[in-house]
Amino acid sequence: MPPRILACVLCQQRKVRCDRKSPCANCIKAQVECIPSTLQPRRRRRQFPESDLLERLRRYEDLLRQKGVEVEPLTHPRLGVNSAQSPHDAHDASDSEGDDEKVRKTSSVGLDKPSPGETEASQEWPGGRKTFWRAINREFRATRDSEYDSDEFEEATIEKSWDQMYDNNDHILFGSGMEPKNLTLLHPDPVHIFRLWHVYLDNVNPLLKITHSPTVQQQIIEASSNLSEIDPALEAMMFGIYSTAILSMADDDCFNIFGQDRETLILRYRNGCQQALINVSFLRTTNLRVLGALFLYLLSIRQNIDPRSLSAMLGMAARIAQRMGLHSEAHNKEHPPFEAEMRRRLWWQIVLLDGRIGEMAGSKDSTMNPAWDCSLPLNVNDSDLYPHIKEPPAPRDGATECLFIMLRCEIADWIRHAPFYLDFCSPFLKPLARQPGPGQPKTLDEVEEMIEAKYLKHCDLQIPLHFGSSCLSRSFVGKWRLGECIAQHHNPETGIQQPHRNKMTDNAIRMIELDTLVRTCPLTKGFIWFADYHFPFPAYVALVQELRRSTIGPLVDRAWEAIRINFDERKLATLSIRSVLFRHMFGLLIKAWEAREAALESVDGQPLHLTEPQFITDIRAKTGKEKRVDEALQGLSLTTPPPLSFVQTPEMGMDVNSDFFMGGGQAFDALAMGGVEPMGMWNMDFNMMGEFDGGFGNNLFPGMQDLGTGALGSW
């Protein structure tokens, strides 16, 4: 484009038309020097000092309040989604995230009333968050001139000082000597990147929803064309996606598509994810995408790591999330609607996984408690949500792409406030528990009715997500119902009465049938990895007790058939007999079958030939006994841990070597078998349903997860 030629100085002064030649005709005619003019720099328009005025106004209002004069605020703190945030508030919000250049606009999500954990005092502070630095700065503002405002201590300044004082220490979790490295060669080729992304979309994303598919897909497409220039946070997320995608695939599918076995691929991408997290200083991060990558990494290693170690790492992830404010609805509201929603989703997934792993590790102090107030995710589709949205989308009725996470979060949100759950895990938090309001469910039966009416009745069972969600959510409710029934109906002297035992038995059978359904239906093939992580062990515990005393009847027949099919589908009879968990369960199943054989030797005076199930035959062959289980099983103490000769069972997706399965003395010392605890029944005396070999349960559940009720939301 040719440069712009201006009229000469003389023509401008005389205000006559200039032909813009050099010299111009007017200057030649006047016989004067033609001086070309130059473009003056545009005068910078002085901006209205609104922030200074608002700051001074706020200071004067504070002085008036100190004198007892009531002052109406310029804007009410609860105006709703269209309320604007002052520059001062925006500055505070950006400071809290350690980013001076980015000023976030406050966007409210249901601000018509305070959140459950919000107090009246907290409403006086920007964004509803009262911090030490805000408080001390506010205290001194009232007596200082504006020229000293730059002396205030700010969170961002302090965070930057830590960055300058300390080197990157993120290698402490992944081994010494790990430094930032280029990961270009560890990525698969672009075709396989896109293939893994689609596997993730089909098998993993519907169950987690911590990535916004349309946004991330475009970024992955762009990044795969130039991997050497990829954003480090996106790279960490991509390796997390690779790892979980491979985790969700069958061995044969991995080899057919990628030409390598599953274990080789998952090890490669896990190592890549480790290094990518090191590259982005994940322990110090305030980046939501980096935290999401860390969550995917922890999810991908779950099958191969001691749950006690993984529980500690999940505690670290939860602490990072809390530092970023994901647990606080007041903090989430300081962010734009899109980011606020993704923060809620990630927080809930961390809570659910932390609860499950804490349960396996024998810890009752998971983050699934009433001590935080992050709202439930919104029931919306990805198309309803996009990065630059100005207001939160209205939640939809019925089934959406978030169906599964809505079901899990609705159930877990009720459970974390339930008295029977808190009596067991955190009695001191009961004062924080939210009481059900009018129309809200008060029992698990009402919770099930609520999710049926709100979500499940709208499902199309030909859609994989709808079918899997229907099965798994009902199984989760059933698992919690076992714990609720024990808490409400257990009598230390008589156990649980027959009507309630029948209800527990029916519930346990349904859990096993639902587990089998998920594993056998072609629609849910991509979700088997998740079902592997949620073996219905509490249901098996309940059934093996009842089947030793109830030997005849339709309910008993249904129970044995459900166990037979599930054993075959999960290939449980092929597990090593050296596993204490299954050695106990196998032995008790044989005892229950022998009791059934004895009861059915004659019916109406006629001998009855009962066909022994194949899994019973296989178990007997494994134990080396034809009719009796190893006598060593009968001599196990209620409080002494069994010998440490255990193996891992990848088929179940859990580590049976952990204290959660093998038992440990500390748990029994803490709960005192004498029943001094308010919930003495949680001491896991398995005589609660009648006479029973109590060694089985008491040697399996440190922390007294009674039938899985320690943090049952993730069985």
Q: Kindly state the average pLDDT of the residues 551-562.
A: 92
pLDDT of 396 = 95
Question: Of the candidates 352, 235, 353, which has an alpha carbon nearest to the alpha carbon of residue 287?
Answer: 235
Candidate from 79-88, 148-157, 390-399, 674-683 with smallest mean pLDDT: 674-683
Q: What's the distance, CA 547 to chain centroid?
A: 36
What φ, ψ does residue 291 adopt, rounded to 5°? -65, -40
- Boundaries of CATH 4.10.240.10 in the chain? 1-37
* Structure-model confidence comparison of residues 232 and 535, the more confident one: 232
Three-class HEC string of 465-482: HHHHHHHHHHHHHHHHHH
Over residues 54-78, the mean pLDDT reads 68
Q: State the DSSP code for 311.
A: H
Lowest average pLDDT, out of 41-50, 128-137, 453-462, goes to 128-137
What share of the chain in percent tops pLDDT 90?
41
Lookup: tokens for 179 = 């430094």
* Structure confidence by residue, pLDDT tens digits, 140-164: 454 444 444 444 445 555 455 545 5
**CA gap 359, 668 in Å, rounded:** 15
Alpha-carbon distance of 380 to 337, in angstroms, equals 13
Question: Between these two residues, 484 and 679, which has the higher pLDDT value?
Answer: 484
* Residue 271 contacts residue 186 (beta carbons within 8 Å): yes
pLDDT band of residue 291 (cuts 50, 70, 90) is very high
Q: Which of 84-93, 95-104, 609-618 has the highest mean pLDDT?
A: 609-618
Q: How far apart are CA 194 and CA 264, in angstroms?
A: 19
CB 611 within 8 A of CB 691: no
- Phi then psi dihedrals of residue 622, to 5 deg: -70, -40
**Average pLDDT, stretch 611-639?**
63
Give ∠ CA 714-407-273 in degrees, rounded to 5: 55
**Cis bond upstream, residue 23 (ω within 30):** yes
DSSP state at residue 497: -
* Predicted pLDDT at 67: 72
For 106-122, write each residue's pLDDT tens digit: 333 333 444 444 444 44
Q: Which of 163-172, 223-232, 624-633 has the highest mean pLDDT?
A: 223-232
C-alpha–C-alpha distance, residues 58 and 274, integer Å: 48
Contact 183, 281 (CB under 8 A): no
Of the candidate ranges 156-170, 404-418, 520-534, 579-593, the one whose mean pLDDT is the lowest:
156-170
**What's the pLDDT band for 358 if we cut at 50, 70, 90?**
confident
Contact 47, 31 (CB under 8 A): no
Query: Given 3-state DSSP classes, what are the helix, strand and coil percentages for the chain, each rounded to the nearest 5?
Result: 60, 0, 40
Q: Inform me whether the pLDDT recorded for 642 exceeds 70.
A: no
Alpha carbons 710 and 715: distance in angstroms, whole number: 10
CA 314-320-326 angle, 5° bins = 105
- Give the integer Cα–Cα distance in Å for 32 and 523: 90
Comparing C-alpha atoms, which of 664, 660, 605, 675 is closest to residue 639? 664
Give residue 468's pLDDT. 96
Look at 151-160, 311-320, 395-404, 529-538 and tell me which has the smallest mean pLDDT. 151-160
- The token duo for 370 is 């009433």
For residue 73, whether the previous peptide bond is cis, meaning omega lies within 30 degrees of 0, is no
Print the SS3 string covering 380-408: CCHHHCCCCCCCCCCCCCCCCCCHHHHHH
For 186-202, what is the mean pLDDT? Answer: 96
User: Token digits for 197?
Assistant: 């992304």
Q: What's the rounded Cα separation, in Å, for the pair 289 and 294?
A: 9
Burial of 555 (0-12, 13-18, 19+ CB in 10 A): middle
pLDDT of residue 79: 36
Assess contact for 326 and 384: CB atoms under 8 A.
no
Reference 392, options 311, 333, 473; nearest CA is 333
Q: Please compute the mean of the pLDDT values over residues 48-69 and round it to a whole number.
A: 72
Output 492 or 340, whichever has higher pLDDT: 340
Backbone angles phi, psi at 603, to 5 degrees: -125, 125
Q: How far is CA 225 from CA 78, 187, 188, 240, 467, in A?
A: 46, 12, 12, 19, 37
Confidence at residue 451, expressed as pLDDT on a 0 to 100 scale? 96
- Range of 130-134, 166-170, 187-191 with top mean pLDDT: 187-191
The pLDDT, as a whole number, for residue 437 is 84
User: How much is the mean pLDDT over the chain?
Assistant: 75
What would the CATH number be for the domain defined by 1-37?
Answer: 4.10.240.10
* pLDDT value of position 306: 82
- Do you know the residue count of the chain? 715
**Average pLDDT for 50-79:** 67
- The overall pTM is greater than 0.85: no
pLDDT value of position 669: 27
The gap between the terminal CA atoms of the chain, to the nearest Å, is 68
3-class SS of residue 249: coil
pLDDT at residue number 290: 97
d(CA 418, CA 73): 39
- The model's pLDDT over 471-517, given as tens digits with 9 standing for 90+, comes to 999 999 998 998 888 888 877 777 888 888 889 999 999 999 999 99
